[in-house]
Amino acid sequence: MNLEIKKFLFDIYESIESIENYLGEKRDFKIYLSNKMLRRAIEREFEIIGEAMNRVDKSDSTIEISSKRQIIDMRNRVIHGYDKIDNEIIWGTIVRHLPRLKQEIKGLLG
């Protein structure tokens, strides 16, 4: 794996950790909904994750990451459909999909 791809993977990993830090230990959907700055910060991290994933895919489409296409699609929705962002989908992604993605990226980074 070349250095550029590792940089993109590191960016994904770092954004996942940022989301975890923003939310803290007590993950509460009501707090997420009530805090516009928190929501925007997390949306930005999803933009970064999706863009980095897109670049990984374009550089080497053989790299196996589950939900690669959905991650890229989410980035596009967040950027281009900012007025149609579904907070429940974002939250569900945080809770159900980010832990797995983090482990996959960690494994790829070695």
Question: How much of the chain, in percent, has pLDDT values that exceed 90?
Answer: 72
- How far, in Å, CA of 69 to CA of 10, rounded? 18
- The domain tally of the chain equals 1
The pLDDT of residue 89 is above 80: yes
Band of pLDDT at residue 2, cut at 50, 70 and 90: very high
Q: pLDDT, tens digit, for every residue of 57-86?
A: 999 999 999 888 888 888 877 777 767 788
Range of the domain at 27: 3-109
pLDDT at 82: 66
3-class SS string, 59-83 = HCCCCCCCCHHHHHHHHHHHHHCHH
Q: pLDDT, tens digit, for every residue of 42-61?
A: 999 999 999 999 999 999 99
The pLDDT of residue 26 is above 90: no
- Per the CB < 8 A criterion, the answer to whether 13 and 49 are in contact is no
> How confident is the prediction for the chain on average, in pLDDT?
92
